[in-house]
Amino acid sequence: MVANESVRKFVKEAAAMCRPDDVVWCDGSEEERERLTRVAIRVGDLIPLDQQTLPGCYLHRSAANDVARTEHLTFVCSREQDDAGPSNNWMAPDEAYDRLGRIFDGSMAGRTLYVVPFLMGPAGSPFSKVGIELTDSVYVALSMRAMTRMGNVALEHLGDSDDFTRGLHSKADLHIDRRFICHFPEENTIWSVGSGYGGNALLAKKCMALRLASALGAREGWLAEHMMIVGIESPEGETTYVCGALPSACGKTNLAMLVPPESMKGWRVFTVGDDIAWLRVGDDGRLWAVNPEAGFFGVVPGTNSRTNPNAMRTIQQNTIFTNVGLKPDGGVWWEGHDDPVPRSVTDWRGRSWNASKQGTVAHPNSRFTVPAGECPSISPERENPNGVPISAILFGARRQKLVPLVYQAFDWAHGTFLGATLASETTAAATGAVGVVRRDPMAMLPFCGYNMGDYWNHWLSMGKRLTRPPKIFRVNWFQRDDRGGFLWPGFGENLRVLRWVIERSRDRGTADESPIGYLPKPSDIDCNGADLPDGAMSRLLHVDRDGWRTNLRSQSEFFEKFGDRLPAGIREQHDGLRQRLRAG
Ligand code: OXD
Ligand code: MN
């Protein structure tokens, strides 16, 4: 029995409301993993895969209506609506507790409540935070084990403090009408009901490490960001840490696990994190980052040995696959796999796909969940309690036109503006139309737990405290030609762009000044050995001034939504861009 009084009280009160048959406290041990896996197989939450070729790997099939984050059912429940801001759904805290309380009431009858203590960030780090998730899903408990430092390690970090995130989760009846994901930033609390999907149900991830942590960071003077973190070692042995924000399903995991192209001998890339970064100003005036997570929850379709060889090796063992295809030999398959479509395969819903050939074999948002330690490129610095010093920040998004392959912000405030004006074509990671351009500032639109105007202000104020700020860049791997083909090969080749980024972040390397920022000349990006048609680099780096003038209007329309919470510093940047485009 756990000694911490506040934890016990939290569990007791939740159990009184949800009325489970049983309460199981998770300690994070190996014995427990085996026991919970047996339970998950028995209740049908996990299907064992072929244990010879995929040891420790299982398939999970979710309910067909529960395959992605449901942003329209996600709420920030701050006391004042203005504190949630125009980009979040808001519900008054009392109303949220009342509405969700009715669904939680008795929802765990006949089920087990798992108490999942978890630590976000390395053990012993001043960066790290503790949460307790109470869940009636054994799949969630096992996934949290892969994604966080789970069990006793978290309780030890907590000691007798009551400073922990209180997360309550029940699948309830998985009905969309009774699905809500509610965040209470002032009470460090999350209530999530009616979904078993990772982004809604693994409360450590989007709910705590981004939505609650972003609000907490604003109060405590740090940033919680939707960013991957990598260390890039040059042939001379110099390592540069870069973090990068890209919207969901835009290749953050591929970038985090990048394998250098053949022709870039001597370069190495180390993965620190693939999705979330917590950033603080160090005593040395630099920006320091930790990855609060301990695992990867990556998008499966399109993953293969060309796009992400490290991920392919990572998911050969100890992986939970969700909503991929199952082969008769206990192997898995998805669209974009190295192997051709198998002669016989069961689709993500458990139907024979070869008979129906309806829809895709794997769901477009099917996922792998795997501990970070399985990744061959994992950085030894991942466990450093101080984090890693960041030299460059990338903001990337999916844009077929307009946005060049790479350009650099003039300074931190301009970089904040580049983040604030990020827009991307939507993907399958959230329910809704795919391929529509939407504004997604800092790739945080679905994850910023407070008013985005205040968030931009916080970004600007962080810049004032950084005496050695990282340089900020906008990247776009996704430009298309007139026939719809990609102009840039992407994946491992992105290191060519990162090489220029590293040079610039070390005050070396050349660039031209343009109205939108510093642009490399085509010859500044080393394309030796890349399969790029003549003139492609000039097109990739072209600034379409008319397009940018039109874009100014859409930026203003978006900013107007924030009224007087829009910082003057952002308005000034927008005016500056307008003037530079007029002059140009
Ligand atoms: C994710 C997401 O799962 O951004 O990381 O949706
Ligand atoms: Mn993400």
Alpha-helix residue ranges (DSSP H) falling in 202-266: 213-220, 252-256
Q: Is 197 in the pocket of ligand 1 (CB under 6 A)?
A: no
Choosing from 207, 250, 375, 448, the catalytic residue is: 250
Question: Nearest to residue 116, comparing CAs of 84, 153, 75?
Answer: 153
Domain residue limits, the chain: 5-56+70-221, 225-295+379-583, 324-362
Domain 225-295+379-583 has CATH 1.10.10.10: no
Centre of ligand 1 to C-alpha 292, Å, is 15
Whether 225-295+379-583 and 5-56+70-221 are alike in CATH topology: the answer is no
What gap in Å lies between CA 14 and CA 12, rounded to an integer? 6
CATH superfamily of the domain spanning 5-56+70-221: Phosphoenolpyruvate Carboxykinase, domain 1 (3.40.449.10)
- Integer angstrom CA distances of residue 518 from 123, 246, 402, 515, 552: 40, 20, 16, 8, 18
What gap in Å lies between CA 133 and CA 140, rounded to an integer? 10
What DSSP string runs through 3-67?
--HHHHHHHHHHHHHH--SEEEE----HHHHHHHHHHHHHHTS-EE--TTTSTT-EEE---TT-S
What gap in Å lies between CA 94 and CA 96, rounded to an integer? 5
What gap in Å lies between CA 128 and CA 164, rounded to an integer? 11
Element (H, E) at 480: none
Tell me which DSSP letter residue 211 carries: I
What gap in Å lies between CA 212 and CA 234, rounded to an integer? 37
Helix (H, G, I), strand (E, B), or coil: what is residue 347? coil
**Single-letter code of the amino acid located at 516:** I
What gap in Å lies between CA 390 and CA 469, rounded to an integer? 8
pTM of this structure: 0.97
What gap in Å lies between CA 291 and CA 120, rounded to an integer? 8
Residue nearest to atom 1 of ligand 1 (CA): 248
250 flagged as catalytic = yes
Closest atom, ligand 1, to C-alpha of 198: 3
pLDDT digit of tens for each residue in the chain (584 aa)? 678 999 999 999 999 999 999 999 999 999 999 999 999 999 999 999 999 999 999 999 999 999 999 999 999 999 999 999 999 999 999 999 999 999 999 999 999 999 999 999 999 898 899 999 999 999 999 999 999 999 999 999 999 999 999 999 999 999 999 999 999 999 999 999 999 999 999 999 999 999 999 999 999 999 999 999 999 999 999 999 999 999 988 989 999 999 999 999 999 999 999 999 999 999 999 999 999 999 999 999 999 999 999 999 999 999 999 999 999 999 999 999 999 999 999 999 999 999 888 899 999 999 999 999 999 999 999 999 999 999 999 999 999 999 999 999 999 999 999 999 999 988 777 777 777 788 999 999 999 999 999 999 999 999 999 999 999 999 999 999 888 899 999 999 999 999 999 999 999 999 999 999 999 999 999 998 888 888 899 999 999 999 999 999 999 999 999 999 999 999 999 999 999 999 86
Which pair of structure tokens corresponds to residue 350? 């458990």
Q: Is 274 in the pocket of ligand 1 (CB under 6 A)?
A: no
Q: How many CB atoms lie within 10 A of CB 436?
A: 9
Residues forming a β-bridge with 474: 395, 407
Contact 398, 435 (CB under 8 A): no
Centre of ligand 2 to C-alpha 161, Å, is 30
- Integer angstrom CA distances of residue 110 from 47, 113, 164, 180, 562: 22, 10, 28, 22, 46
Q: Is 275 in the pocket of ligand 1 (CB under 6 A)?
A: yes
